A = this chain, B = another copy of it.
C-alpha cells in the first residue's frame, strides 16, 4: 500500500484523518454505501484491545455480556412515544422479505431499548431478579443524511457497546448512573483521552430518557466530539413494555432503567488526540504491536544482526510484550521507520553492528522521538517502564491541551468569536430556560453541551442571553 504524505495534521485534520485510517491499515470507508466501512486487520486488533479494556471494566462491575437481535418490529419501536418520534425518521426500514412485502415493517436497531423490552418482561419476575445489568457490543444504524466521516458520523455504527440495566428503585438507578460514569472515566483514562462530562439540555437528551450525561473531548480542529453518553430512563420504557417485578411486600411495580453507550468514536478520539504529522500514535495498552524491532543492516554481519533481533523479540514476547521484528529485505531501515510510525507503534528498537558489540540497543519513543540506549539484558524491564511512562505523559499532554481549549466568556459576542476560530469549549452563565438556550445556540452558531457534571462552579455573571439571574454554568461548543 502507498505511504502517507506527511501533512501538518492540525491544519489539515480532515485530510490527515482519512489518510491515516486507510494507510495505517485501520479502517477503509471506500465501500459502495456512504457511511459504511471496513475494519482492516490492523484496525481490528486495535479495536480488540480497546474493547477488552471496556469489557474488563464492565465484567468487574457485575455486567453480563449478551447478544440481542438486530431487527425491531415497527410495533415495538412505536411503544415509547418520544422514542419513536425521534427515531422513525432515522431508521433503515425493511419492507420486503425475499420477493414478498412484510406485514410488519422491520427497523435496523438504532439502539436497543425496544429490542430488550419484550425480553425483560419475560425474564424479570421478582425483586430477586434485580438489579440486572446487561451489555452487548453490536452494530447499530442511523439513516444519516448529512456528510459522513469515518468512525465519527456513519450509517453503520459497527461497534456500539450499549449497557442496559434494570433496578427496583429510582435511587438504585441513580447509583447505577454513578457507576457507569466511573467506568467510562476509567475507560477514557486508560485510553489517555481527556473529556468533560455535561448534562445535556432537555432538547438534546436521549429520546425516552429522564436525563442524559455526555462525555465530550476536543479534537485538533477545535470541534468537540461526543464520545460516550449515560442515560437515566426512569420508568418510561418499563411502562411502555409493561415490565414489572414483585416487591418484597408482594406488590407489582415497574422497574427503573438506565442505559449507556460508547461507539467506535473512542478510536476516532484516540487517533485524533494523540496523532501527529507522521501518523497515528497509539497508547501502549491498545497497540497490537507495542515494540517493533528493526535490524540496521551491515555487509558482513546482517545474519548475526537478524538473529539477535529475533532473539530479543522472543524474549520480550515471553514477558507479554507485543513485539515484532521487521525482517523485510526489500526496504531500507528508513522506509520501515516511516511505516511503523504511521501505524503508531509506541516503541522502536534498532539493532545494528555497533549495538551488538556493546550488547545494547537503541530505543525510540513514538510520541516524542526521544532516543535512548539500553543494555540488552535490561531491555524487558526498561520497555515495560517506558510504556507506562509514555502512557502517563500522553495523558498529561492531552489533558493540558484540552484544558487550554476550555474558555470562559461573558458575552454572546465573545462566545461567537471563540467558536468562530474553533477555540474548543466555552463556559458561560445561563438562566436555564429552554427558549434562552435555543436562542443561544442560534446566535453562537454552536451547540449547548450542557451543565458541567465534573466540576460544580457557580455562575459568575447573569445569563449571557437574557441578562436575568443565571442558574448555572453551561458549556457550549461547535460539536461534531
For residue A69, CB closer than 8 A to chain B, the reply is yes
Tell me the complex Cα distance, A37–B40, Å.
29
User: A77 to nearest B CB, angstroms?
Assistant: 11
Q: Are the C-beta atoms of A31 and B95 separated by less than 8 Å?
A: no
User: A331 to nearest B CB, angstroms?
Assistant: 12
For residue A334, CB closer than 8 A to chain B, the reply is no
Q: Are the C-beta atoms of A41 and B69 separated by less than 8 Å?
A: no
Tell me the complex Cα distance, A229–B282, Å.
38
Q: Are the C-beta atoms of B70 and A156 separated by less than 8 Å?
A: yes
For residue A467, CB closer than 8 A to chain B, the reply is no
Q: Residues of B contacting A156 with CB < 8 Å? A: 69-71
Tell me the complex Cα distance, A130–B385, Å.
39
Q: Residues of B contacting A82 with CB < 8 Å? A: none
Q: Are the C-beta atoms of A91 and B95 separated by less than 8 Å?
A: no
Who on chain B is nearest to A48 by CB?
Answer: B65
Q: Are the C-beta atoms of B28 and A44 separated by less than 8 Å?
A: no
Tell me the complex Cα distance, A71–B156, Å.
9
Report which of B36, B44, B119 forms a contact with A66, defined as CB distance below 8 A: B44
Q: Residues of B contacting A134 with CB < 8 Å? A: 41
For residue A411, CB closer than 8 A to chain B, the reply is no
Per-residue interface assignment for chain A, residues 83 to 115, with 1 indicating a CB less than 8 Å from any chain B CB and 0 otherwise: 000001111111111110000001010000000
Per-residue interface assignment for chain A, residues 114 to 141, with 1 indicating a CB less than 8 Å from any chain B CB and 0 otherwise: 0000110011000000000010000100
Q: Are the C-beta atoms of A73 and B108 separated by less than 8 Å?
A: no
Q: Are the C-beta atoms of B96 and A93 separated by less than 8 Å?
A: yes
Q: Residues of B contacting A31 with CB < 8 Å? A: 69, 118-119
Within 8 A of B (CB), among A297-316: none
For residue A143, CB closer than 8 A to chain B, the reply is yes
Report which of B66, B98, B122 forms a contact with A91, defined as CB distance below 8 A: B98
For residue A39, CB closer than 8 A to chain B, the reply is yes
Tell me the complex Cα distance, A58–B276, Å.
34
Report which of B32, B44, B67, B98 forms a contact with A90, defined as CB distance below 8 A: B98
Q: Residues of B contacting A28 with CB < 8 Å? A: 119, 122-123
Who on chain B is nearest to A1 by CB?
Answer: B123
Q: Residues of B contacting A145 with CB < 8 Å? A: 98
Who on chain B is nearest to A91 by CB?
Answer: B98
Per-residue interface assignment for chain A, residues 313 to 344, with 1 indicating a CB less than 8 Å from any chain B CB and 0 otherwise: 00000000000000000000000000000000
Report which of B32, B48, B66, B75 forms a contact with A118, defined as CB distance below 8 A: B32
Q: Are the C-beta atoms of A96 and B98 separated by less than 8 Å?
A: no
User: A124 to nearest B CB, angstroms?
Assistant: 11
User: A354 to nearest B CB, angstroms?
Assistant: 32
Q: Residues of B contacting A92 with CB < 8 Å? A: 71, 94, 96-97, 106
User: A23 to nearest B CB, angstroms?
Assistant: 12
Tell me the complex Cα distance, A91–B106, Å.
13
Q: Residues of B contacting A32 with CB < 8 Å? A: 73, 75-76, 118
Listed A/B pairs (12) with beta-carbon separation below 8 Å: A32-B76, A33-B73, A33-B106, A37-B69, A44-B67, A69-B156, A70-B156, A89-B98, A90-B98, A93-B94, A95-B95, A95-B96
Other than A93-B95, A93-B97, give 16 A-B pairs with Cβ distance below 8 A. A32-B76, A32-B118, A33-B106, A37-B69, A38-B66, A38-B69, A44-B64, A67-B158, A70-B139, A88-B98, A89-B98, A93-B96, A93-B98, A94-B108, A97-B143, A98-B145
Considering the complex of A and B, which 6 residue pairs feature the smallest CB-CB distances, nearest first? A41-B64, A97-B143, A36-B69, A39-B67, A93-B96, A89-B98
